[in-house]
């Protein structure tokens, strides 16, 4: 099951801490810069093709009648050996092209060489919109896509007034209820408060014996199956706009990288992650939303 690379905190925190430690030991300076609140909120743009391990990229454009065809050919050395993963890789390539290629796109043809096998997928424009949502503005005119949606300074959730973890849990519960019920249309949306996590001095969460500060992070999660037959991944661009309208500081770079993830920040160090995950064959994909506050008094 693929869950993308978005942050979904509490259930994966211990595993994430170990992985983070290994990476930090190799690239300490880089991670210190990347994990500042300012850098994470801004979502520094990287090469979307390179982010997917794509090499030998070739893009060609042809016009047949009234339709513009965009042909994308790629290869990768990523370990995607089974047929399901090859299909997923082609889907990610299609999303990267949809959100980054400058120029008209009525039909997208993706050819990918993975594991010594060649696969071709054809997408009509309506299929791209149904899978990934509306195309970023101005791309069809050959211009650069817009920046991430601007934060509404007067948004209902722009200010994070919580002074302790109990207040933070309630604030985050109300935020996720608004997202699930009012925006995504799930009337029974019921966020769950997770176990609180102790805060420590230093970067490593107590792994090296750092002292606990006495403060805690409040975590709240919401898992949804959206109504209707549409792909929930197509809802993410509009959801990003909605989060910005609520006053959160939104990142959309992971969408541009072909992933089913949106991230946002609130308060000084609070964070929110939305990711779409696969389900059992024949079952609808699900939306997972998680929030974690900054360190607060218990």
Lowest mean pLDDT among 36-45, 57-66, 174-183, 266-275: 36-45
Does residue 81 register a pLDDT over 70?
A: no
Domain assignment present for 43 = no
Candidate ranges 82-91, 197-206, 217-226; pick with highest mean pLDDT: 217-226
3-state secondary structure of 247: coil
CA 180 – CA 189 distance, rounded (Å)? 5
- Same domain? 220 vs 279: yes
Q: How many domains, in total, are found in the chain?
A: 2
CA 290 – CA 194 distance, rounded (Å)? 10
The rounded percent of the chain whose pLDDT value lies above 70 is: 79
pLDDT for 3? 35
Domain assignment present for 31 = yes
Longest dimension (CA), the chain: 68
For residue range 277-293, list pLDDT tens digits in order.
988 888 899 999 999 99
The rounded mean pLDDT for the chain is 85
Q: Which two tokens stand for residue 72?
A: 């994308």
Domain assignment present for 202 = yes
Q: Which of 100, 105, 101 is nearest to 62 (CA)?
A: 105
CA 280 – CA 278 distance, rounded (Å)? 7
- Same domain? 95 vs 239: no
Angle at 144 between CA 141 and CA 147, to 5 degrees: 125
CA 8 – CA 34 distance, rounded (Å)? 18
- Same domain? 182 vs 276: yes
- Same domain? 85 vs 119: yes
Query: What are the strands, taking DSSP E only, across 77-169?
Result: 107-114, 117-124
| Structural domain span for residue 116 | 48-132
Domain assignment present for 4 = no
| CATH code of 114's domain | 3.30.70
Angle at 160 between CA 159 and CA 161, to 5 degrees: 105
For residues 104 and 68, the answer to whether their CB atoms sit within 8 Å is yes
Main-chain dihedrals φ then ψ at residue 19, nearest 5 degrees? -60, -40
Domain assignment present for 1 = no
pLDDT for 32? 34
Select the more confidently predicted residue: 77 or 200: 200
Domain assignment present for 42 = no
For residue range 209-254, list pLDDT tens digits in order.
678 899 999 999 999 999 998 999 999 999 999 999 999 999 999 9
Domain assignment present for 159 = yes
- Same domain? 209 vs 282: yes
pLDDT average, residue stretch 123-149 = 96
- Same domain? 230 vs 271: yes
- Same domain? 128 vs 61: yes
- Same domain? 82 vs 194: no
Does residue 42 register a pLDDT over 60?
A: no
For residues 276 and 234, the answer to whether their CB atoms sit within 8 Å is no
Does residue 69 register a pLDDT over 70?
A: yes
CA 16 from chain centre, in angstroms, equals 16
pLDDT for 209? 67
- Same domain? 186 vs 262: yes
Site of tokens 């769950």: 192
Q: Which two tokens stand for residue 142?
A: 């050959």
- Same domain? 263 vs 174: yes
- Same domain? 28 vs 153: yes
Site of tokens 């606990």: 212
């Amino acid at each position: 099951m693929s869950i993308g690379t978005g942050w979904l905190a509490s259930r994966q925190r211990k595993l994430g801490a170990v992985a983070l430690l290994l990476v930090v030991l190799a690239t300490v300076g880089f991670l210190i810069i990347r994990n500042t609140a300012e850098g994470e909120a801004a979502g520094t743009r990287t090469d979307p093709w390179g982010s997917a391990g794509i090499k030998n990229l070739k893009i060609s454009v042809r016009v047949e009648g009234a339709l513009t065809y965009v042909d994308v050919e790629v290869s990768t050395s990523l370990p995607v050996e089974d047929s399901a993963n090859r299909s997923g890789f082609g889907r990610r390539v299609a999303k990267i092209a949809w959100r980054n290629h400058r120029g008209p796109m009525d039909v997208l043809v993706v050819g990918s060489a993975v594991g010594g096998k060649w696969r071709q997928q054809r997408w009509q424009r309506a299929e791209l919109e149904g899978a990934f949502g509306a195309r970023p503005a101005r791309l069809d005119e050959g211009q650069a896509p817009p920046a991430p949606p601007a934060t509404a300074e007067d948004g209902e959730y722009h200010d994070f007034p919580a002074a302790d973890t109990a207040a933070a849990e309630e604030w985050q519960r109300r935020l996720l209820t608004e997202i699930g019920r009012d925006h995504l249309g799930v009337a029974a949306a019921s966020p769950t408060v997770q176990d609180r996590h102790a805060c420590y001095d230093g970067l490593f969460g107590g792994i090296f014996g750092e002292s606990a500060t006495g403060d805690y992070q409040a975590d709240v999660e919401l898992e949804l199956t959206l109504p209707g037959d549409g792909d929930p991944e197509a809802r993410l661009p509009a959801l990003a706009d909605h989060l910005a309208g609520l006053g959160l500081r939104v990142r959309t770079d992971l969408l541009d990288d072909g992933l089913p993830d949106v991230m946002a920040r609130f308060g000084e160090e609070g964070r929110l992650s939305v990711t779409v995950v696969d389900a059992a064959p024949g079952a609808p994909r699900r939306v997972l939303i998680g929030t974690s506050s900054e360190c607060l008094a218990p």
